[in-house]
Amino acid sequence: MKRTMSTVGAALVALAIAAFAPAGASAWAPAGEATVHPGVMTFTDGAQCTSNFVFTQGSDVYLGQAAHCSGTGGSTETNGCDSGSLPVGTPVEIDGASRPGTMVYNSWLAMQAGGETDPDTCAYNDLALVRIDPADVDKVNPSVPGFGGPTGVGGAADGSTVYSYGNSSLRGGVTTLSPKQGTVVATEGNGWSRTVYTVTPGVPGDSGSGFLNSAGQAFGVLSTLQILPTAGSNGVGDLAKELAYMRANSSLSSAQLVPGTQPFKADLVGAILGS
């Protein structure tokens, strides 16, 4: 029987997703049933943050969070080259998982170990990976709730529309505020960071949230809440640069972002209604 192009396309998508499934697993958990996914809360020594995307290397599966989520200094200590952090190996509680994960990479620690001196890298490189316990891998789906995707890793130009999902418990369980749409206001730090204004803006606990561009590509990680240039704006680290740094300066040299099993939809209202 002759197959249509749509059938062939669907098969290619399925093969691509399967290629990123962890070794020994035939598929990710269905998106509607997964309890571990982008946007779930993480707790590092009690500090609350939000996960961004799912990554794999070999049979290991990881959730991304911000490096500063394991910081040991005050809220004003944001320079990763001289700010304190809990060590690699620190347990991290993950909402929806039965066991704690383990922080296996932290950009702050990597920069300090390597003697990094570039001021933009020090200021904006803010990524950590948490290895999910093997007992919880079958609970994972890599799709961003509401929007679907990510479709890969990409950038975001000034003035472009972007999307995010963060469900900080400080919102009191109001899940309709979790999906966000916004605009890139400016690029900073020689491309290391973007100032993004969203409705609603990120709040404490949203740190680490992932950002998607208008094509559904993962482009950033929420790092800071800002006052200028726009009140309620957020500083979003460039994910492509953060991943490149991680691969060059850690054992995670082949770690890859996992595409979502759900198609990306640039539809804020649909994301809210589906939340």
Residue-wise pLDDT for 15-27, tens only, equals 455 555 654 444 7
Q: Which percentage of the chain shows pLDDT scores above 70?
A: 81
pLDDT of the residue at 134: 97
Evaluate if residue 14 carries a pLDDT over 60: no
Q: Which two tokens stand for residue 274?
A: 């589906």
Would you tell me how many other CB atoms lie within 10 Å of the CB of residue 184?
22
Per-residue pLDDT of 176-224, as tens digits, reads 667 999 999 999 999 999 999 987 655 566 789 999 999 999 999 999 7
Q: Which two tokens stand for residue 219?
A: 């482009």
Q: Which two tokens stand for residue 143?
A: 């799709």
CB 246 within 8 A of CB 105: yes
Q: Where along the chain do its domains lie?
A: 41-139
The CA distance from 177 to 135, in Å, is 31
Residues 6+ apart with CB under 8 A from 56: 20, 21, 22, 62, 255, 256, 258
Amino acid residing at 51: S
46/129: higher pLDDT? 129
pLDDT of the residue at 39: 94
pLDDT of the residue at 211: 97
